[in-house]
Structure 1
Amino acid sequence: MKVGEKAPDFALKDQNGEEFKLSDFRGKKVLLSFHPLAWTSVCEKQMKALDENYERFEKLNVVPVGISVDSVPTKKAWAEHMGLKKLRILSDFWPHGEVAKLYDLFREDGGFSERANVLVDEEGKVVFFKVYPISELPDLEEVFEAAERDKK
């Protein structure tokens, strides 16, 4: 997956079992924030940072979502544990890691995705794509800068 490419469309269930379909968000930017696994410390910090910055994303016409291979019930329990207020966290559970594979972010050896941020613009094109070391918290300022640069 490269900047400028069309983002593959997908539909996944969020922590409440509601469908999230990427193409339903045309006209808005979408941040796909991939994280390896729920209930891990860096992943928790990553999702809480998205939720805490939700209004800042909204001002830039960005809808942030978290994505991992965990099941919907796991996502629900984790979202409640973290006290998420607005952030939707999506389950790429079955077929296992299918969306992570579409974005070339699935780690076959571990059975989970890379830690990555993918910003998709209003027309469905990738405008920012970065994979982070598994142990590193992604820098949201990079995403905010990319969203600012890509203002339509």
Structure 2
Amino acid sequence: MLEIGDKVPDFVGIDQEGKQIKYSDYQGKKLVVYFYPKANTPGCTAESCSLRDNYQALQAKGYEIIGISADPVEKQKSFHEKFSFPFPLIADTDKKIIQAFGAWGKKKIMGREYDGILRYTFLIDEEGQIKDVITKVKTKEHAEQILKAI
């Protein structure tokens, strides 16, 4: 997993509209990159809506937001439209970005262990350096967690 002080890899992904999004598009800007397991599920919806509802407060602090999951473009588009997210959602179907950040690993639910996307959030400064990593995400209060961290 990328840690505080690490440089962000120059990733490229496809958003919910099928447009290419590159990390370099955000150079010189502060950025929240959050990884979520699956679009349109209760936890991921609560987390993403928390960020949507606090988008202006995060922008006032100078932050842009990118959400990333392994869902295909069509599913990201549906999720994006259904909840009117003002930020892009990347469809990382080959999991290259997810793995580059270290947001893939062992998960355990009800005694069953499997590999999956870890619900991690990375706060990145204008120089492309990770300033904080949130690994214990509270889905309903995620924006508040970020605002406290910054």
TM-score band w.r.t. shorter chain: 0.7 to 0.9
Match for residue 72 of structure 2?
71
**Alignment map for 1:42-61 (pairs within 5 Å):** 42-61=43-62
Query: Residue 27 of structure 2 contacts residue 127 of structure 2 at CA under 8 Å; is this kept in 1?
Result: yes
- 1:121 Cα deviation after fit: 0.5
Query: Residue 13 of structure 2 contacts residue 22 of structure 2 at CA under 8 Å; is this kept in 1?
Result: yes
**Alignment map for 1:1-152 (pairs within 5 Å):** 1-84=2-85, 86-93=86-93, 96-107=94-105, 110=114, 112-132=116-136, 136-137=138-139, 139-147=142-150
**Equivalent residue letter for 1:99:** I
**Equivalent residue letter for 1:128:** D
Q: Which runs of 4+ in 1 moved over 6 A?
A: none
Gaps of 5+ in 2: 107-112
Query: Residue 34 of structure 1 contacts residue 117 of structure 1 at CA under 8 Å; is this kept in 2?
Result: yes
Cα deviation per residue 1:43-79 (whole Å; 9 max; x = unaligned)? 0111111111111111111001111000111100111
Gaps of 5+ in 1: 148-152
- What is the rounded CA distance, in whole Å, between the counterparts of 1:110 and 1:77 in structure 2? 26
- What is the rounded CA distance, in whole Å, between the counterparts of 1:110 and 1:83 in structure 2? 31
- What is the rounded CA distance, in whole Å, between the counterparts of 1:10 and 1:110 in structure 2? 26
- 1:111 Cα deviation after fit: 5.2
RMSD value over aligned CA atoms?
1.7
**Equivalent residue letter for 2:118:** E
Indicate the percent of aligned positions where both proteins have the same amino acid: 27
**Equivalent residue letter for 1:101:** Q
1:37 aligned counterpart, secondary structure:
coil
**Equivalent residue letter for 2:125:** D
**Equivalent residue letter for 1:5:** D
After TM superposition, the score normalised by the length of structure 2 is: 0.86
After TM superposition, the score normalised by the length of structure 1 is: 0.85
- 1:139 Cα deviation after fit: 3.0
